[in-house]
Chains A and B, each alone.
Chain A
Amino acid sequence: MTADVQNNDASPSAIGKFFKSLGLLRESPIAIFGLALILFWVILAILAPVLPLYDPNAPLEPFKFPMSEARDGGLYWLGTDHKGRDILSRVIFGAQQVLIWATTATAVAYIVGMLMGVVAGYLGGWYDEVISFISNVLLSFPVIVLYIIIITYLGATGFNIVLAVTFASAPGIMRIVRGLVLDLRTRDYIFAAQTRGESAMYIMLVELLPNARGPLIVDACLRLGYTTITIAMLGYLGLGLPPPDPDWGKMIAETQPLGSFAGHMAVVPAAAISSLVLGFNLLADGLREISLKD
């Protein structure tokens, strides 16, 4: 009988839940604005191959100012850089790069950090000691030193950037997850699962992690913003993805010395990075506000 009631009261499908949580966003104009900024760049990045853009790496006409006419009758909306490449096209293709790598790196760091955290928090004992100690050692490195060591020794490839971000972020994620799990593990539904004879693996992955998602979603948004900054910063410092593909950080580094007469070359990518990071931070802020209201 009770089972029937539960079945009739079927919880909404995953898609329904998703739209419901999107509806929650309406409570926070800040979150909506943040999401809009992110979507602006995501949509541009997805549409990049079909938009009527110049080739981002093709040398066309150097040192053109924004809105100047191209030789072939087109328009350089944002001008061209010192090598004659169309800045609008480079910024949009750069968005593709930064979004792909920032998302991948954050996702990998999250998977590693969450597994470490849930194991340390739920199993405790030696697992906790060892994992916490490794995290403390890694956290004692200034992040930039980790990046410099990993990237100068392994080379500047996308994979190594993901690796470096994982090394730098997973310990922090581990700490948050561990704290949440230490709180959750004393709940009744965990005891219920233990009494049912569920394996530790099942309890950690199916019972604990999904219930810790609230604070993690907010943190993930913040980290996406921070990873975006990191990837652009590595590009700026000459430790980023190899040329010639456009990279926001590298665009600033290359054109910064020309600021005295062609400031737009560096200002455009700087504004692009700032707006994307602002999107992530505002979304995180709005989500936190919504979660505190309930």
Chain B
Amino acid sequence: MLILAFRRFLSMALIMVIVSFTLFAIFESDKLAVAGKVLGPYSSTEQRELWLENNGYNEPFLERYVTWVGNALTGDFGYSIQYKSPVADVLWPRLANTAILAGLYMAFMIPLSLTLGVIAGMKEGSFQDRAVSVGSVLTTSVPEFASATFFSAIFVFWLGWLPGTSAMTSGFSWAEIFLPVFVLVIYGFGYTARMTRASMAEVMTSHYIRTAVLKGIPYRRVIMRHALRNALIAPFTVIILQLNWLLSGVIVVEVFFAYKGFGKLLLDGALFGDIFVIEACTLVAVFVAVFSQFISDIGYTLLNPRIRFT
């Protein structure tokens, strides 16, 4: 088990090195372009060369990469051109805001999708199964920017119950965070629900469930004690890997509702050409993705005895 965790960790580290090197090569191999982005389009070539000299850009490429990674690891991501402050000062509050959004999403999506998936998978082909399946196809067909349009048309403009933006200018507000989370949950729960359903349906056809039913154990108990444990292994990995897809939805929702989060920072940085912000955000995003993959692998092994003992 420990050996496996260690091997997974090594491959995670290797992927991070390759990815960060690729990102660095994409963003910073053209030094003059970097200087042009920092100093603005009207800076002269001499000014750019001087800036490069002063900021250590004339070192060999590999050396610059190592320094860059070292700085990033110690939380120094450079200076934001757009916000006129160190990137780290902008990045951490934004990440915290997005963590709130993602945390609330998980807190509602997981119980909802697991419950629906289990209810549907318990009796394959029943009415409840069809209803959940069709419902989840419907909701996963409406992308976040479309459902956000519909929901804000209903709840903001027609009924007037909720605010249409979530800028949180006067502190945290539940009314403002409701719609962003709601939109994410509506789009995201279907996938996990379908996974849970498939996994549950498969477990219900297995021999030990038949045995348990034939032994005369109450149906409720068969579900709770025998089926659920095995049926929830697959959804667990899906839920963690969703972080990778969640970022797209998070960016859309943050842009739609003007929520000051990590996704909006990344997109604004990319549209503005704020090079150090893009670098920092992509690094953080890839790190979260790779790390969640690591957790999901380890968790899957821990949960599944058939893998754990071989």
Contact = CB atoms under 8 A, between A and B. Distances in A.
Interface string B125-153: 00000000110011011111111011011
Nearest to B22: A137
A145 B247 contact: yes
Interface string A251-285: 01100100110010011001101100110111001
A142 interface: yes
Contacts of B285: 141-142, 145
B103 to A, nearest CB: 18
A252 B19 contact: no
A252 B152 CA distance: 12
Interface string A235-256: 0111100000000010011001
A137 B15 contact: yes
B26 A149 contact: yes
B248 A142 contact: yes
Interface stretch (B72-80, B174-182, B250-258): B250-258
Contact of B245 (A143, A239, A249, A281): A143
A233 B248 CA distance: 9
Contacts of A153: 26
Interface in A91-125: none
Contacts of B234: none
A267 B156 CA distance: 13
A167 to B, nearest CB: 12
A144 B247 contact: yes
Contacts of B273: 152
A270 to B, nearest CB: 4
Interface in B15-39: 15, 18-19, 23, 26
B278 interface: yes
Contacts of A30: 134
B9 to A, nearest CB: 14
Interface of B: 15, 18-19, 23, 26, 133-134, 137-138, 140-147, 149-150, 152-153, 156-158, 164, 243-245, 247-248, 251-252, 255-256, 266-267, 270-271, 273, 278, 282, 285-286, 288-290, 293
14 contacts: A142-B286, A143-B244, A144-B251, A149-B23, A152-B271, A232-B143, A252-B149, A256-B256, A259-B156, A260-B156, A273-B146, A277-B143, A281-B141, A282-B137
B289 A274 contact: no
Contacts of A267: 149-150, 153
Given A142-B245, A259-B156, A260-B157, A266 B141 contact: no
A20 B270 CA distance: 49
A233 B145 contact: yes
Contacts of A233: 143-145, 248, 252
Contacts of B18: 137
A144 to B, nearest CB: 4
A216 to B, nearest CB: 19
Interface residues of A, number: 40
Contact of B153 (A237, A238, A259, A281): A259
A195 interface: no
B150 A270 contact: yes
Nearest to B156: A259
Contacts of B164: 259-260
Contacts of B138: 278
Interface in A142-189: 142-145, 148-149, 152-153
Contacts of A137: 15, 18-19
Contacts of A281: 137, 140-141
B140 A252 contact: no
A280 B142 CA distance: 12
B273 to A, nearest CB: 8
A140 B267 contact: no
Nearest to B164: A259
A236 B282 contact: no
A270 B26 contact: no
A136 interface: yes
B267 A225 contact: no
A277 B146 CA distance: 11
Nearest to B266: A148
A45 interface: no
Given A270-B146, A281-B140, 5 more contacts: A141-B289, A145-B247, A233-B252, A236-B252, A259-B153
The 6 closest A-B CB pairs, nearest first, are: A270-B146, A278-B141, A270-B149, A144-B248, A142-B247, A274-B142
A205 to B, nearest CB: 31
Which residue of A153, A236, A259, A277 has the most chain B CB atoms within 10 A of its CB atom?
A236
A172 to B, nearest CB: 11
A160 B152 CA distance: 32
A262 to B, nearest CB: 10
